[in-house]
Structure 1
């Protein structure tokens, strides 16, 4: 087929595409979608900052309009410094709410006035409109400084503002959002702990608020009993300590589940043998160890699929008695549910257990079957899918104290960018705990690569953990390394820091747990508009890990 000659743009006829789309959508079309009342006479500025942020930030994402701001920045605001003006306006808004500062109202009115005459395609060329939008974003962001934390302020003038934020973000049937007017089906706004320090996205423009435009997954924000102090000691127990032949095995699908699945695919499940000691008795013996006698435990962590529903309830009682946080992978079998589930549960004193399901199934191929020596139970020539329910699309954030907002990931959720990856990057939690059923946690393996990515952007501290039993089943690239100094199979945890530090954490012989003493550090982070957070961005630094032996072994 002959390729048609190119026609100069000025003489080009209307192509079918141009006839279909013409000038495209207007700014007003976007406003009507996000805040429908602007299509009526009720076009006034919202009084609540998160609603203004949702409108302005979502509009700046259209056609990447935010990228045009850096051509000439900052704009002049009379004789005042732009950053000072934004900070003062944001603080005044927080103290005067529900009254909206005049500077915000005038910028909003300017946006409404130009919305009907500016196309989304031409937005980035409208310098004044872009400046108005960035100003609205930045002031809203400054007004919401420390929103989402358990104790955001001791200033009585700000009490009403923060109490209202607490009421709005409280978990409800639509999940969590700070917005009062903008419906979560259109956009959400959540608190934010970290701002990426490289690259340029809409996330680069805010320090305290995050914009969520996808509704594929429902975020939920939970407040935990406030933990006071900079130390955060995590006892990691790499349970089960042994995974035997037959613990991973094939299983039948549910009735009418994937009736058209090809014969070279199948389902597997994890049903480990009954150990000689219950997991609850084992934890009791760990907590009585001499290594923990002088170190308070703030949280106990178990890896993916480590305990059953019944075992978790026993561990939860121990956590309640010991006044610590429990984070554990839980396997829910056919016997206790209509569908097997792979969950992470978080329990804290005086808080109901919070459950999050895995969002991706693990697929075992021939390479992994051979790596974990599963040939006796799973045919290597087939591909095996983890038999679990993945219909739940919810994701949890936990606010424990200033500088400690954390979240949990289950195995493949760490490796897959969607549906949770963008959400994690938007909020930038201080701490990400990835529960895995995996081999050694080495920097060069896949968990290390993906953890390093989150440590870089958004700047979270990341801890990946696996069970000793599964890691010991993993054959090294050279089997001759087993039981030599080159054997790395007891590396059951990996810590990655935004300060470009990392550490492979090996469980020493005789030990059955590791105390990870974290301490909060802070650094300064900058937004692309020139604002900084005053050196308040927190991350967790890891001190020297302590090997923990059960009391009976000490």
Structure 2
């Protein structure tokens, strides 16, 4: 059985050989957090933690009781550690003496096994309370880490990632705030603390213990420059463009069949997009989206972000649209599913152009921003079965076999973007929302304030899978979830006629509101979803408050938007497959 000493040596293999790991506490609170949080989880000690209730009858069973004095001590020590002056010649504030004493005290248990089967009425091992107190202090020391550039511990970790040319350095955000071996665990900043359940995630406000980097990479991306004027704004408007509006018969095609004829590979041909060398029609598609932005604002709606669904664009079309939106100072970001990355590798990706990372430096004439485009791939292949082939009338696929999306999955990663100083924004692609795997562990651990899931799916209604999984994340950790699908497969299902006709292209769920279904009325092309930021106080499992520092994005309203002079091929889903400069707008 591994001992406390064994675990430390394993987690921190780069520490000088022969040096007693408990002779001196690590300089970084994130390193202490990594170690003690891992011990509390690995031993099962975390679920014995309860806040003290003075009037409660005596409990004969094992508990780690946290009282007001322990909480106050953790807050005071954490604040002192974070705010202490950095001595000359040093890079970090000194470790408080009380933390050093607790660390030295923990060392007396170095040869104790991490896990021991205990009798129900046995006392809690002595090291459990030491680990808990150290975890609480380190969590408090890291208040606003990842959000406040003045936090000395985040500056220490993130500075090496600032190297590089121009905006390309945003591609190198830290995957862990700890020096612990990343093939065993990672530590990342945190946005939301679950208000339900009894898990290790419930024990911290500011730091999250995450899976190893090999399972999933969680990259923290904070603004490159000082925040701009929108930091204090509490309203957010998203223009949702459910393009393509039609998916023709040629879009879903076989790409290979296994020798036993049990399954096949399929690909999705983006027949709704003009050719890359057709600059005229590519420009028309850009103008179409810009026109929707203008129409939305003309109706009194705000548009801060533009969102398109899974596989809506390719990289070239995404870049063209981003280039046009860059000139609009009110647009903070563009998110879309794309079919290839910057290297032209084909697949299923989500791209985000986060203009907000430029902060106050943003200028309509700024150049080189293309280096800010963040792209990550889908984590799971779509499996199409006979039922889906029938429901969507996918005539190009044989119903006698299952079909898997032809994807090469090179890596699993999530980008967690700091937005407006106090929000984290991330994206998922279709099945990534539903599958229980390390990606979900990151979402639940960090608790992003806003999650956008891009789909190519059927109607976004209360009874289908996106609503179920959005509800789960809205409850734990409290993440607000938007799912958006293109209208194309909904239209095909409506044509089949076996289900009630639907125009539900998006769905919103936050911690407070019920499931909100967003319908696209006929003759409309987009929806504006307006959200409001609300402060929320959260408590950890040990009873510590965050004094209302958490942010929840709540539903405000939504309204449909119709485009003007829309080219027929945009709505029909079949773009002419040869270059042309003919005026085809109607």
TM-score normalized by structure 1?
A: 0.85
Task: Quote the Cα distance in structure 1 between the aligned partners of 2:249 and 2:186.
Answer: 47
Tell me how far 1:389 sits from its aligned partner: 1.9
- Choose the corresponding residue for 1:440, options 452, 455, 459: 459
Task: Quote the Cα distance in structure 1 between the aligned partners of 2:206 and 2:496.
Answer: 45
Tell me how far 1:385 sits from its aligned partner: 0.9
Q: Answer whether contact 2:315 2:340 (CA < 8 A) is retained.
A: yes
Tell me how far 1:279 sits from its aligned partner: 2.5
SS in 2 for 1:204: helix
For the structure 1 residues 476 and 204, does the alpha-carbon distance in structure 2 shift closer, same or farther, using more than 3 Å as the test?
farther
Where do residues 7-406 of structure 1 align in structure 2 (5 Å cutoff)?
A: 24-36=1-13, 37=15, 40-43=18-21, 44-70=24-50, 71-75=62-66, 81-96=69-84, 97-121=92-116, 126-149=124-147, 152=148, 160-167=152-159, 175-179=174-178, 181-215=179-213, 216-224=215-223, 226=227, 227-228=230-231, 229-252=233-256, 262-274=260-272, 278-289=284-295, 291-292=297-298, 294-323=300-329, 324=331, 325-332=333-340, 339-349=345-355, 350=358, 351=369, 352-374=372-394, 376-406=395-425
Q: Show the counterpart of 1:15.
A: none
SS in 2 for 1:197: coil
Q: Answer whether contact 1:328 1:346 (CA < 8 A) is retained.
A: yes
* Bigger Cα displacement from structure 2, 357-366 vs 277-286: 277-286
Tell me how far 1:265 sits from its aligned partner: 1.1
Tell me how far 1:271 sits from its aligned partner: 1.2
For the structure 1 residues 168 and 127, does the alpha-carbon distance in structure 2 shift closer, same or farther, using more than 3 Å as the test?
farther
Task: Quote the Cα distance in structure 2 between the aligned partners of 1:426 and 1:495.
Answer: 21
Task: Quote the Cα distance in structure 1 between the aligned partners of 2:440 and 2:326.
Answer: 32
Q: Show the counterpart of 2:487.
A: 468
Task: Quote the Cα distance in structure 2 between the aligned partners of 1:423 and 1:490.
Answer: 32
Q: Show the counterpart of 2:571.
A: none
Q: Answer whether contact 1:57 1:133 (CA < 8 A) is retained.
A: yes
Tell me how far 1:344 sits from its aligned partner: 0.3
Q: Answer whether contact 1:169 1:178 (CA < 8 A) is retained.
A: no
SS in 1 for 2:65: coil
SS in 2 for 1:196: coil
Tell me how far 1:48 sits from its aligned partner: 1.1
Q: Answer whether contact 1:291 1:548 (CA < 8 A) is retained.
A: no
Q: Answer whether contact 1:288 1:550 (CA < 8 A) is retained.
A: no
Q: Show the counterpart of 2:525.
A: 512
Tell me how far 1:251 sits from its aligned partner: 2.0
Where do residues 398-417 of structure 1 align in structure 2 (5 Å cutoff)?
A: 398-417=417-436
Q: Answer whether contact 1:235 1:515 (CA < 8 A) is retained.
A: yes
Task: Quote the Cα distance in structure 1 between the aligned partners of 2:321 and 2:46.
Answer: 49
Task: Quote the Cα distance in structure 2 between the aligned partners of 1:174 and 1:326.
Answer: 20
SS in 1 for 2:46: helix
* Bigger Cα displacement from structure 2, 131-140 vs 119-128: 119-128
SS in 2 for 1:435: strand
Task: Quote the Cα distance in structure 1 between the aligned partners of 2:113 and 2:289.
Answer: 63
Return 5+ residue gaps in structure 1 as ranges.
1-23, 254-259, 482-486
Aligned residues: 506
Task: Quote the Cα distance in structure 2 between the aligned partners of 1:261 and 1:203.
Answer: 46
SS in 2 for 1:545: strand
Q: Answer whether contact 1:54 1:211 (CA < 8 A) is retained.
A: yes
Q: Show the counterpart of 1:6.
A: none
Q: Answer whether contact 1:362 1:386 (CA < 8 A) is retained.
A: yes
For the structure 1 residues 275 and 127, does the alpha-carbon distance in structure 2 shift closer, same or farther, using more than 3 Å as the test?
closer
Q: Answer whether contact 2:171 2:374 (CA < 8 A) is retained.
A: no
* Bigger Cα displacement from structure 2, 468-477 vs 58-67: 468-477
Q: Answer whether contact 1:440 1:474 (CA < 8 A) is retained.
A: no
Q: Answer whether contact 1:35 1:55 (CA < 8 A) is retained.
A: no
Task: Quote the Cα distance in structure 1 between the aligned partners of 2:9 and 2:66.
Answer: 28
For the structure 1 residues 309 and 201, does the alpha-carbon distance in structure 2 shift closer, same or farther, using more than 3 Å as the test?
same
For the structure 1 residues 210 and 119, does the alpha-carbon distance in structure 2 shift closer, same or farther, using more than 3 Å as the test?
closer
Tell me how far 1:168 sits from its aligned partner: 6.4
Tell me how far 1:42 sits from its aligned partner: 4.4
SS in 2 for 1:326: strand
Q: Show the counterpart of 1:544.
A: 557
Q: Show the counterpart of 1:5.
A: none
Q: Tell me how large the CA RMSD over aligned residues is.
A: 2.6
For the structure 1 residues 491 and 457, does the alpha-carbon distance in structure 2 shift closer, same or farther, using more than 3 Å as the test?
same
Task: Quote the Cα distance in structure 2 between the aligned partners of 1:309 and 1:289.
Answer: 26
